[in-house]
Structure 1
Amino acid sequence: MNGQQTLSVLILEDDSTDAAIVTRLLARSCGEYRIHTVRSLAEAKQTIGDCHYDVVISDLNLPDSVGLETVHCVRQVIPTAAIIVLSGSSDESNYVSALRAGADGFICKHDVDQRLLHRCIEQSLHRIQQQLKILELVREVDKQQSELARHAKELENKNASLRRLCESSQSFVNHVSHEFRTPLCVVKQYANLMADGSAGAVTEQQEYFLRVIEDRIDGLNNIVDDMLDVSRHETGLLGASRKCCVIADVFDREVPLLRQRANLRKIEIVCDDYHGLPEIFCDQEKLGRSLTNLVTNAIKFSKAGSQIVVSVACCLIEQELRVSVRDFGEGIDPEECEKIFNRFRQATTSIQSGEKGFGLGLSITRELVELNLGDLSLASVVGEGSTFSFSVPLNDIRSLVTRYLDRLLRLQTSYDKVVTVFEITASNALTPQSLSDSQALLNFVLHARDLLVPVDSGRWILVLNTHAEGAREFCTRLTKQTEETNRNRPVGKLPGFQLENRGTYDVDVLREDVQLCMPSSCDVSPRNPSEDLINV
C-alpha cells in the first residue's frame, strides 16, 4: 500500500451477502478504502462517470454477464483498474483462466479473509504499476528508436553529401593543380632561356628579375605539389615508392636549387658534407620534398644576410640519419610550436612577406617524413631561431620492419591491425634493369600502408596491412599487373615471382617478435616445409 492513501474499490457482486462480507473484510483490513457496490455491469457502467476506481472485485456470474466474459467486459469498462475475481470455485484451472482473460488476482470465496484480500489488492496494484512502467518504457524505447532511425537517416544523407562534396573538391584540386603545371612550366622555361641570354643579351638587373620569376614559379609548384599530396592523402592514395639509396643523390639534386632561391634573398645556405654516409631506405622524391619544404620555410623566417644551416648526422643506435634545418630568424612561440604542424596553420612571424602559401607545407612535410618511416621534430627559441629535424631510416631490414609496425600501431584509423607477411623471390636471375623494373612493379601494386623491403638481388620481404583474404587479392592483383606489364614491355618479359606466405599476425604480436618476418637467411627458427608457395 502507498502509506495511508485511500483506494477506491468497486465491488461487483449480485449476491448481497457476499458483497457485505467483502465490504466488512475491507473495513477491518489495514488499508484505507472507499467502497462502492453494484450488482451488474450495467450499474458499473453508470458509476464510472462519477468516480475513478483503483480496484474492481468482481464475481464471474452476474445478471448481465457470465464466466470469463465478465473479466473482458470489466476490463473494457474500467481499463486502468486492478481486477480481482471473486469466485466460489477453488479449481486452479479457473485461476489460470481468469489471469489469462485479463484479471490481476483471484480469490476463492470460501478462503477469503481480510489479510488475504488486502495482500491480493496490494499485489494486483503492484502488478498494474509494473505493467504501466513497462508500457511506458516500451513507448519511450519506441520513441527513441524512431528518433535514432531519423537521426541515422539524416546522418546517412549528410555523409553522402559530404562524400560527394569531398569527391568534388578532390577532383577540383586535382584538375586545377594539373592545369597549373603546364603554364607554370612554360613560363619558367621561357624565363630561364631569357635569363641565360638565349633570346638576346640581358642586363644584370634583368637577369635578377627573371631569376625571381623562376623562383616564384618554383614556389607555386611547391604549393601545387602540397595540394595534390593533401588530396591523395585524404583518399588514401598517398603512398611511397621506397628503395635503397644514398642521401647524397637527393641533396646533390635539391641543394643547388635551394641555394639559388636563397641567394635571391641574400641568404646563405651552409650545408655539412653529406657524402660517404650509410645507405638509407626511402622514397627519394618524398625525401627531396621534405628537405625543400623545410629549407623554403626557413627562408621565409630568415633575414637578408643571415644563414640557414643544413646538417646530416648518422645515428647507428637508432639506425637512422637525422637531417636538421636551422634558421636564425625570430623563433616560434612555444604555444605556436604545438600548432605549427596543423594543416592550414601558418606562423605569424614570417620575415619574407613575399612568401605566401596555404599553410600546407609543414603538415605535408610531416606526412611525407612519416611515409618514409621517420619522424619530424621542432626546437625553437624566440629571438634565436628554429631547428626542424627529421629522420630517415638506414637500410636495415629489422629496423625498417620495426618502424613500420610502430607506425601502424600509432595510426588511429579503421584499418585492420593485422598484417600478412610474404617473402618474394624472383624466379630467374635479374639484370640491373629488370631488378629495378621488378621492384617498381611490386611498389606499383602495393597500397599506401604496405611495406616492401629488398633483402638482396631478386629477393624482398613484403608486409601487407591486410588479412589473409586481402593477401589473396594482392596476389591476384600482382598476377594481372605482371601480365599487363609483360605484354607492353619492349625488352622482353620480367622474371616471374615466387611468394612464400610467412603468415598473418596481429600487429602488436608481430611487433613483439619481429623475427617472424625476417628473410630465410636471417631466420633462426625452423622452416615449415608445408608453407604455401605462390607463383606469379
Structure 2
Amino acid sequence: MSRVLLIEDDEVDRRNVIRMLSLALPEWSIRSSTCLLDAERELSEFEFDVILCDLSLPDSIGISSLVRVLHAASGVPIIVLTGLESDKTSMDALMEGAQDYLNKNQITPELIRRSIQYSVQRNHLSQRNAELMASLVKSEEALRIQNRRLRKACETAQQFVDNVSHEFRTPLTVIKEYASIMAEGMVGPVPDKQLRLLRTIDDRASDLNNMVDDMLDISKLESGLLTACREKCSVESIIENVSSALQQKAAIREIELEISVADDLPDVFCDAGKATRTLINLGVNALKFASHHVEVKVQFQTPHDVAFTVIDDGPGIPDEQKELIFQRFSQLQSNVDNAGKGFGLGLNIVSELVAINLGRLSVDSQDGSGSEFTFTLPTCDHLEVAKRFIDHSSRNANCPQTVALLKSTIPIDQDAIGDDVRKFFLCTLRQNDLLLQIDRRSYLILAAVDQIQLSEMGFRIEEQRARLNRNRLSSPLPELPLENLGMYHLDQKNEVLIDKVAEQITDREYSYV
C-alpha cells in the first residue's frame, strides 16, 4: 500500500489536509507528525512514497525544515506546504530539492492528487537520471581505463614492429654487402653457378627489406605519424631510382623487362620516396607472376596526370579476386612458388601510398591474359593539387572533416637560409597536411585537422624548430608564424575553400616547389 507522511503542527490545517488526501487518494495510508523529531522517527520506522511538509514547525522553521526532511528521507519526493504567498520561498524550496509547493489555503482534492502524482513521477525520473548519470560516469571511467590500456597496447605493438624492423636492417645490410662482395669476385673467382646463387641471395634479401619497409609504413600509417614530403620532382628521377633494382630482379627470374618513358613529360608533385615504393612494389609483383615479359611505361593520361603503368603476361586476376588484392594481408591465390610470397602487404601499401600522393590506382586484368596496374601522379599545378588534397581529405574516414588554411611568411629572404624552411616544413608536417610554396618567402598549408589538432600542430612546429636550432651549425631557422586564414568544413563541393586557395596562389610563380 502507498503511504504518505504529513508533517504539520497546526491542528486545523492538519485535519484539512488529511481530509483532502483521503478524498484524493482513498487507497493510500496517511500518517502524520506535528514536529520534525516525530517525523524523523516515522521515517526511520516506515517507508513513504511522498511527504507533505509545512515549513513552520515547533522545532524548525523555513528552508532549514526542508533540508532536515531531505536528509532524513533521501530519495522520497517532498511537497512543501505553506500558508504564505511568497514566490521567493517557493523558488528557494524548489531549488533546495522540493518537488512541488502548495498553498494550504488553496488545496483541493484534485490539486493535491495531481501534485502528488506529478511529484512522484518527477522524483522517479530524477532518480533514474541520477542512476543513468552515475552509470555513465562509471562507464566513461571504465572506457578511459580501457582506452589507456588499448593505447598502451597499440604503442607497444607499434614499438615492437619498429624495433623488429630496425633490427632486421643490420643483418640484411650485411647479407647484401657480403653477397655483393663475393659476386664481384673481390674475395676470389666465382663460378657462374655460384654467382647465380649469390644474386638470388641478394634478391631475396631485397625482398625481405621491402617487407620491412611495408611493416614500418603500416605501423606509421596506423599511428598517424607517416609524413608526406610532397614536392616537385621529375619522372626521370623516379624511374632512375627503380630501374636498377627491377632490372636485377628480372635478370634473376629470367624475365624480359622493358621500361619506356614518353618524351617531354612535365614534373610531377608527389613524395618521390612513396612514388618509388609504389613502382617497386608493383614491379616486384609483376615479376613474381609474369611468364616471360614485364613492361613499365610512363605517359600522359590527362593534362593534370602522369600515368605509371606496369604490365605483365602472367595468369591474370579472376574477377572475384580483384576486390581482395588491395586488402591488407590478402594474397592472390595462384601457383606461384611460396618463396616469392610476402605478408600480403605490398598491394595494400601501394593503394595507401597512391592515395597519399593524391593519385589514382586502377587494375585491368582478365583471368588467363595478364594484368595491367596503373597509378597516376598529379602534375605541378598548385590549384589542381589543392583540389586533389581537399577531395582526398573529404573521402578519408580517418581524417577530420575540417581543413585549416594557414599561411606562413618568413621574416627574411629565402636566399639567406637556402631551401631549409621548405625542407623543415616537409619533414614536420604529416600525411594529412599539404604544403605549397607560393613565392620566395611565403608558404600555404592545408591541414586536415580539428581545432585541438591545429593547436597541437602549432606547438609541434615550434618545438621541432627550437630542437633543430639547438643542433644547427649554420644560421638558425627564423620564427615561422602561422596565419590562420580560416577553418573550413568539408562537403561535396568545397567551393569556398577552393576559391580561397585560388585567391592565395593566383598569378604566383610555381617554380619554387
Common topology (TM > 0.5): yes
1:351 aligned partner: 336
Counterpart for residue 323 of structure 1: 308
Number of residue pairs the alignment of both structures matches: 488
Amino acid at match of 2:184: L
1:504 paired to 2:504: no
Q: Partners in 2 of 1:401 and 1:276 — Cα distance?
A: 24
Does 1:463 pair with 2:454? Answer: no
Q: Which amino acid aligns with 2:486?
A: Y
1:516 aligns with 2:503: yes
Query: What does residue range 208-287 of structure 1 map to in structure 2 within 5 Å?
Result: 208-287=196-275
Partner of 1:363: 348
Which residue is 2:389 aligned to?
404
How far is 1:165 from its partner? 1.6
- Contact 1:248 1:275 (C-alpha < 8 Å) held by counterparts: no
5+ long unaligned stretches in structure 1? 1-5, 488-492, 524-536
Q: Distance in 2 between matches of 1:78 and 1:437?
A: 69
Deviations 1:216-264 (A, max 9, x none): 1221221222223233334444324444333223324423431331233
C-alpha deviation, 1:126, in angstroms: 1.7
The alpha-carbon deviation at position 280 of structure 1 amounts to 2.4
Q: Match of 1:311?
A: 297
Judge conservation of contact 2:53–2:79 (CA < 8 Å) in 1: yes
Alignment-mate amino acid for residue 369 of structure 1: V
The answer to whether the 8 A contact 1:191-1:213 is kept is no
Separation (CA, whole Å) in 2 of partners of 1:129 and 1:449: 55
1:245–1:122 distance in 2 versus 1, CA, 3 Å:
closer
Gap change, CA 1:385 and 1:74, over 3 Å in 2 = closer
Q: Bigger CA drift: 284-293 or 408-417?
A: 408-417
Amino acid at match of 1:285: G
Are 1:395 and 2:380 an aligned pair? yes
Q: Residue 131 of structure 2 aligns to which amino acid in structure 1? A: E
CA distance in structure 1 between the partners assigned to 2:212 and 2:125 by the alignment:
62
Q: Which residue of 2 aligns with 1:529?
A: none
The correspondence of residues 447-458 of structure 1 with structure 2, limited to 5 A, is 447-453=430-436
Give the aligned residue type for 1:299: L
Structure 2 stretches lacking a partner, 5+ long: 489-493
**1:63-97 deviations in Å (ceiling 9; x for gaps):** xx95878x999997999698897x9xx6658xx79
Q: Which among 170, 176, 188 is matched to residue 185 of structure 1?
A: 176
Contact 2:288 2:340 survives alignment (8 Å): yes
Q: What amino acid is aligned across from residue 368 of structure 1 in structure 2?
A: L
8 Å CA contact retained: 2:274, 2:353: yes
Candidates 418, 427, 449, aligned match of 2:404: 418
Counterparts of 2:458 and 2:15 in 1: how far apart (Å)? 86
Give 3-state SS (helix, strand or coil) of 1:264's partner: helix
Conserved in 2, the CA contact under 8 Å of 1:422 and 1:503? no
Cα distance between partner residues in 1 of 2:215 and 2:125: 57
Counterpart in the other structure of 1:161: 152
Give yes or no for the alignment of 1:291 onto 2:279: yes
- Helix, strand or coil at the partner of 1:379: strand
Give 1:144's aligned residue.
135
User: Does structure 2 conserve the Cα–Cα contact (< 8 Å) formed by 1:8 and 1:34?
Assistant: yes
After superposition, what is the alpha-carbon deviation per residue over 1:362-386, rounded to whole angstroms, capped at 9, x for unaligned? 1222233333332222233223232
**Secondary structure of the residue that 2:310 maps to in structure 1?**
strand
1:122 to 113, 122, 129: 113
With 476-485 and 402-411 compared, the bigger mean Cα shift is at: 476-485
CA distance, structure 2, for counterparts of residue 510 and residue 39 of structure 1: 72
Under a length normalisation based on structure 1, what TM-score does the superposition of the two structures give? 0.70
Alignment of 1:383 onto 2:382: no
Residues 125/92 of structure 1: CA separation in 2 closer, same or farther (3 Å cut): same
After TM superposition, give the deviation of residue 391 of structure 1 in Å. 0.8
Distance of aligned partners of 1:107 and 1:400 in 2 relative to their CA distance in 1, 3 Å threshold: closer
Quick one: which amino acid aligns to residue 266 of structure 2? P
CA distance in 2, matches of 1:44, 1:483: 75
Measure the CA separation in 2 of the matches of 1:283 and 1:20.
Answer: 89
TM-score (norm 2): 0.73
Which one-letter code corresponds to 2:503 in the other structure?
A: L
Query: Which structure has the bigger radius of gyration?
Result: 1
Cα displacement (A) at 1:361: 1.3
The Cα shift of 1:312 comes to: 1.6
- For the residues of structure 2 that align with 1:435 and 1:43, how far apart are their CA atoms? 89
Q: Distance between the aligned counterparts of 2:473 and 2:399, measured in 1?
A: 36
In 1, distance between residues paired with 2:434 and 2:74? 75
Q: Residues 174 and 416 of structure 1: is their aligned pair in 2 closer, same or farther, counting only changes over 3 Å?
A: farther
1:174-203 Cα deviation digits (max 9, x unpaired): 432333443233233234324xxx444444
Give the distance between the partners of 2:224 and 2:2, measured in 1 at CA.
Answer: 70
**1:32-83: CA deviation from partner (whole Å, max 9, x where unpaired):** 458889999999999999999878999999xxx95878x9999979996988
| SS in structure 1 at match of 2:485 | strand
Residue 315 of structure 1, CA deviation:
3.0
